[in-house]
């Protein structure tokens, strides 16, 4: 019989022989064994099928981070359903787009947002709206409690879609990124080997579960190695310092590391059991890298990835970790830097970064033209990042061709905010830029051009808050008579960055 490519079947192969081994310990002292995760995910898989989902259907999940959320992710995998996570912060208009585009059969949400979800859920299609709250209560778990604990792991092909995650674009319209069982398996296996994960590791898990970093990198490495986790619903420097003595690995966005360093209680003592600190999702400043090394004696390992590709490059576990670089390509990944005509540039020259490998997604959901546009004829994916590769193969990310802001590890597309602001009466036009920020790396600043009876800057902020997830709301709004444009009529955001770039 041909093996089952289902990601859950691969995780299972790495589960400890004794399933009563701990998978996680949460901040309230609750411990969960591998046996519990296996049993409850089987019940949930049966529940989802009973609620009307059929293999290949999307299950949209907009919930707070919880242990049950992990079980639900595993349930989707084992039932051959497509896991579609959403940031809990999304507002009605954002949700409307995702639900219409993904066409889920089941939407799982927190009870508190059920009325909102009901108001935007498209007519027809969605068969059930079970709830799952941060404390594990809700109708989903009630349903699972009476479902059978016997569930086969559905036979899947490697190319079958396991998860659908959205990323916006420079046009402001989000694209669904189809990730296959093979994409996720191969990347998790590579990371486990490259970062030396084993059953004796305990990961400090503080990242959200609706993005690649917390879901496929953090949780993926743990499940693919039979390791365990100290499980926290969100990042807090205080809680991280308290939990670290019982952990061996931490993963975080650069903000986690700058916040740890801002806490005077953070030092070598709490890191004595730690073997690895991984940073990614946004550029780690060399100052942070050096300060961390000086304070703790540990060298942060920076890696580079994206939702479309999982992880592409990593500084080495053994060997030199270089500040300001994201390391060489991971085994099995090819990376090259090309000019705008698609020709490889000379070593050390800056150009467009392209990647190829088993980690690279299968395409954009229902956007074949966009997929074709973003891949080269020889199958490389255009990352939209500007990079250099040095003589030793170390990649440095030096900029982006995509107009995107990364704030605290979350991607924000200026176009999306500009469209919301431009819609307001009294606004002629706007431009949104990212400004250096000590905490978030970059922070959102909106520049508005009034037209007649213009709204105040706080009215602009309030309008954004009503339409967009909080992390996208501009931290500052500036008024200008006219946007600077080049000869082609394109807004010169670099000029705006120079003018307003300080003090945020």
Segment contacting ligand MLC by CB under 6 A, of 135-143, 144-152, 301-309, 333-341: 301-309
238 contributes a contact to ligand MLC by CB under 6 A: no
Q: Which of 350/457 has CB closer to ligand AMP?
A: 350
Residues 6+ apart with CB under 8 A from 197: 191, 221, 222, 224, 225, 227, 249
- Selected from 280, 328, 363, 474, the binder of ligand MLC by CB under 6 A is 280
**Hey, what are 400's tokens?**
């982006």
**Hey, what are 484's tokens?**
């600077």
| Residues 242/272, Cβ–Cβ less than 8 Å | no
Q: How far is the CB of 29 from ligand AMP (least distance, A)?
A: 33
Segment contacting ligand MLC by CB under 6 A, of 152-160, 318-326, 384-392, 407-415: 407-415
438-457 mask for ligand MLC (x: CB under 6 A)? --x-----------------
**Hey, what are 430's tokens?**
């706007």
Residue among 219, 183, 199 at smallest CA distance from 70: 219
214 contributes a contact to ligand MLC by CB under 6 A: yes
Name the E strands within 390-451. Answer: 395-400, 405-407, 410-412, 427-437, 441-450
Residue among 438, 480, 439 at smallest CA distance from 457: 480
Q: What is the CA radius of gyration of the chain?
A: 23
Q: How far apart are CA 205 and CA 220, in angstroms?
A: 11
Q: How far is the CB of 440 from ligand MLC (least distance, A)?
A: 5
Residues that bind ligand AMP (CB under 6 A): 167, 212, 280-283, 302, 304-307, 326, 383-385, 397, 400, 406, 411
Residue 208's binding partner out of ligand MLC, ligand AMP, none, with CB under 5 to 8 Å set by partner kind: ligand MLC
Q: Which of 255/383 has CB closer to ligand AMP?
A: 383
Segment contacting ligand MLC by CB under 6 A, of 34-42, 101-109, 300-308, 375-383: 300-308
Q: How far apart are CA 66 and CA 132, in angstroms?
A: 9
Q: How far apart are CA 134 and CA 233, in angstroms?
A: 9
Q: Which of 435/460 has CB closer to ligand AMP?
A: 435
Q: Which of 282/389 has CB closer to ligand MLC?
A: 282
What is each CA distance from 101 to 155, 165, 173, 184, in whole angstroms?
26, 12, 11, 23
Q: How far apart are CA 428 and CA 272, in angstroms?
A: 57
Q: How far apart are CA 279 and CA 40, in angstroms?
A: 32
How many residues bind to ligand MLC according to rule CB under 6 A? Answer: 23
Residue 8's binding partner out of ligand AMP, ligand MLC, none, with CB under 5 to 8 Å set by partner kind: none
Q: How far is the CB of 138 from ligand AMP (least distance, A)?
A: 28
Q: How far is the CB of 443 from ligand MLC (least distance, A)?
A: 7
3-class secondary-structure state, position 100: helix
Q: How far is the CB of 385 from ligand AMP (least distance, A)?
A: 5
Q: How far is the CB of 150 from ligand AMP (least distance, A)?
A: 37
- Selected from 169, 176, 328, 409, the binder of ligand MLC by CB under 6 A is 409
305-334 mask for ligand MLC (x: CB under 6 A)? xxx---------------------------
408 contributes a contact to ligand MLC by CB under 6 A: yes
Q: How far apart are CA 211 and CA 201, in angstroms?
A: 22
Of residues 45 through 104, those in contact with ligand MLC by CB under 6 A are none
Q: How far apart are CA 205 and CA 233, in angstroms?
A: 8
Q: Tell the residue number behind the tokens 């889920």, with chain if given.
A: 104
- Selected from 281, 314, 354, 430, the binder of ligand MLC by CB under 6 A is 281
Residue 65's binding partner out of ligand MLC, ligand AMP, none, with CB under 5 to 8 Å set by partner kind: none
Indicate the residue whose CB is closest to ligand MLC. Answer: 408
3-state helix, strand, coil in the chain (%, to 5): 30, 25, 45
Q: What is the 3-state secondary structure (H, E, C) of 12-38?
A: HHHCCCCCCCEEEEECCCCEEEHHHHH
255 contributes a contact to ligand MLC by CB under 6 A: yes
- Binding positions for ligand MLC, rule: CB under 6 A: 207-208, 211-214, 234-235, 253, 255, 280-281, 305-307, 407-410, 440, 470-471, 473
């Amino acid at each position: 019989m041909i093996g089952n490519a289902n990601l859950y079947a691969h995780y299972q192969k790495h589960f400890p022989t004794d399933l009563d081994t701990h998978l996680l310990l949460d901040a309230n002292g609750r411990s969960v064994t591998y046996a519990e995760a296996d049993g409850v995910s089987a019940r949930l898989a049966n529940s989802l099928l009973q609620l009307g989902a059929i293999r290949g259907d999307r299950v949209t999940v907009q919930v707070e981070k919880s242990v049950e959320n992990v079980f639900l992710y595993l349930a989707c995998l084992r039932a051959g359903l497509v896991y579609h996570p959403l940031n809990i912060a999304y507002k009605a208009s954002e949700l409307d787009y995702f639900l219409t585009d993904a066409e889920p059969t089941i939407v799982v949400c927190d009870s508190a947002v059920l009325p909102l979800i009901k108001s935007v859920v498209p007519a027809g299609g969605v068969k059930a709206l079970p709830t799952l709250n941060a404390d594990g209560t809700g109708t989903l778990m009630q349903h699972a409690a009476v479902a059978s604990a016997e569930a086969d792991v559905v036979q899947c092909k490697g190319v079958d879609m396991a998860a659908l995650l959205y990323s916006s674009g420079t046009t402001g319209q989000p694209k669904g990124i189809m990730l296959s069982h093979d994409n996720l398996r191969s990347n998790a296996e590579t990371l486990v080997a490259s970062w030396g994960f084993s059953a004796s590791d305990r990961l400090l898990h503080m990242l959200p579960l609706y993005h690649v970093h917390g879901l496929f990198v953090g949780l993926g490495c743990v499940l693919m190695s039979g390791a365990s986790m100290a499980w926290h619903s969100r990042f807090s420097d205080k809680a991280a310092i308290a939990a670290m003595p019982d952990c061996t690995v931490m993963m975080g966005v650069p903000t986690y590391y700058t916040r740890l360093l801002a806490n005077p209680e953070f030092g070598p003592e709490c890191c004595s059991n730690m073997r690895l600190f991984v940073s990614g999702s946004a550029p780690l400043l060399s100052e942070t890298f050096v300060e961390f090394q000086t304070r703790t004696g540990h060298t942060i390992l920076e890696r580079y990835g994206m939702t479309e590709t999982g992880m592409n490059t990593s500084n080495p576990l053994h060997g030199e970790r270089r500040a300001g670089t994201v390391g060489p390509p991971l085994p099995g990944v090819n990376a090259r830097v090309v000019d705008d005509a698609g020709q490889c540039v000379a070593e050390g020259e800056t150009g467009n970064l392209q990647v190829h490998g088993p980690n690279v997604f299968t395409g954009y959901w229902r956007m074949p033209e966009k997929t074709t546009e973003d891949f080269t004829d020889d199958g490389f994916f255009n990352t939209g990042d500007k990079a250099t590769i040095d003589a030793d193969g170390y990649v440095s990310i030096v900029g982006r061709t995509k107009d995107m802001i990364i704030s605290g590890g979350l991607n924000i597309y200026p176009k999306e905010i500009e469209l919301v602001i431009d819609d307001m009466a009294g606004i002629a036009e706007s431009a949104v830029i990212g400004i250096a920020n000590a905490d978030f790396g970059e922070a959102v600043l909106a520049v508005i051009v009034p037209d007649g009876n213009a709204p105040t800057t706080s009215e602009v902020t309030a309008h954004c808050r009503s339409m967009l997830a909080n992390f996208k709301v501009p931290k500052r709004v500036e008024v200008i008579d006219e946007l600077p444009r080049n000869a082609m009529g394109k807004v010169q955001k670099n000029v705006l960055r120079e003018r307003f770039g300080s003090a945020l």
